[in-house]
Structure formats: C-alpha cells, structure tokens
Structure 1
Amino acid sequence: MPGWIWIVLVVFMVAILVIGCAYAIMHAVAAGKVVSAMSEEVSRHMPDLDDGKRTASDEDQAPFFTQPISVASHRYARAHAGKLIRRDRSRLRHESIWVRWARFNK
C-alpha cells in the first residue's frame, strides 16, 4: 500500500475520534439538562426531609453504644419479631396465591 493511504487512514481515524468525542459531550450536556430539570421538578414536589423539627426524646436519648446491653437486646428482639411477622405474612400471601392458581383451571 502506498504511504499516502496510511496518512489518509490516520487522518480519518483522528477525525472520527474527535467527532465521537464531540457527539458524546453534546449528549452528556443534554442529559445533564434533562436530569437537572427532572431533579428540580421532583424537589418541588418532595417535602423538605430535614425541616429542623426534632423531638425532645431525640435530643435526650443517649448514644446507642453507651446504653445498657438490655436495651440492645430488647431492640433486637423487637426487630426479629417484626421480621418473623413479615416473613409469615409473605408466606401466607404466597400460599393463598398458589391455592388460587391451583383452582384457576378447574
């Protein structure tokens, strides 16, 4: 192959690379504008999460690691009981769905 063809190929490759980068940058800027507009729209409809309203119990409560182990034990027991209740509810929902599906074609 003649040497001038290699030069044309390299110039073509560099041009395609520059065009591709410009294309990616233009679409990234456009996507940034869409995301910005959407976040403004969402933030307009969402309430402020930290509006400064704190209860007295939040301020009076000692840090978790300074409380007695019985407090942690009670918290764990309540959380575990809630987990078991949720699992049982889920199991009952699944069971009722399977019963309904079993009777569907009968």
Structure 2
Amino acid sequence: MLDWNEYRKELGGRIGEIGKLSPDTLRGYQTLSGAGAKTGHLDAKTRELIALAVAVTTRCDGCIAVHTAAAKKEGATVDEVAEALGVAVALNAGAALVYSARVMDALADTP
C-alpha cells in the first residue's frame, strides 16, 4: 500500500516546483480551490467529503491524499467517509449504465 503521508509531502514539493515555474497557474488553482469556502453554504467537513467522492470518481491519488487528511482534520468520521464513497461508487456505476445505453443506441443506429 501507498504511504499516503509521504506521498502527500512529495506531491507538495512537486507542486511547489510548478508554482515557481508558473506562479499564475498555482494561484489560479488556489483561487478555485478556496472559492467554495467563501460562500459559507457548506461547512468544511461537507466540502471535504464531497472532495473525497469526486477524487474517487476522477481517480486522483493526490486529491485522495490531500482531502483525506483535510477531512480528518475537519472531524469527518470513518462512517461519513464511507457514505461519501458509497455515493462515488453509485455515481460511477450510474455513469457506466448511462454510457451502456449510449452504446445500445449507437448499435441500433449502426447499419
């Protein structure tokens, strides 16, 4: 298994390198990343649970490393994380089902 703490540190270093080479790119990302917190509509824990579900659906290991730590910091429980991940699993299965319907449609349309 991956050492997530070490990976998170290494990732931070590499992202720092990108920030030095392209500071506006990193600033733009940070602006996007922090925008939700400014509205006050969702609390930090809920945003982190959503981030974990999205991290799974987008298959982003870096996102998993960062947002798992943040979710724990915000007080997310194992049960809450598991429920958020269940939503991710259901959405991925749903997307596969929808795209399966598209295949069937393309198949019916193909001579």
TM-score, normalised by the number of residues in structure 1: 0.41
Q: Which has the higher helix share?
A: 2
Higher-RCO chain (CA-CA 8 Å, sequence separation at least 6): 2
Greater Cα radius of gyration, structure 1 or 2: 1
